[in-house]
Structure 1
Amino acid sequence: MQELYLQAPFFLIGLAVQTAVLIPISIFSMIIYAVSSVPLVISFSVIIKAL
């Protein structure tokens, strides 16, 4: 049981680091996705207006 107590802090730190890294990456990719979809939405609305 002693080893589990020693490993737990490292596991939590690793989990915190992983979360801290993944959240900005996911937000960044969502922003990129939103920005890249804007031209598609604009061209789509132009096509609908043309029809």
Structure 2
Amino acid sequence: MNIDRTLLEIIVCPDCHGRLDPVAEELVCTGCGLAYPVRDDIPVLLVDEARRSR
């Protein structure tokens, strides 16, 4: 996954507005635990596309 660090600092979880941490090929919310896929280095921040990581 090749997402710019500056972008990671400003995007948040669309569900709870928590911080997103890169884990494997996903961005995982530290607040609610939703894991958002990253496709072709583009974060897909749609709640319907996310899965529960916990």
TM bucket (normalised to shorter chain) is: under 0.3
User: Which of these two proteins has the greater Rg computed from alpha carbons?
Assistant: 1
Greater strand fraction, Structure 1 or Structure 2: 2
- TM-score using structure 2 length: 0.18
Greater helix fraction, Structure 1 or Structure 2: 1
- TM-score using structure 1 length: 0.18
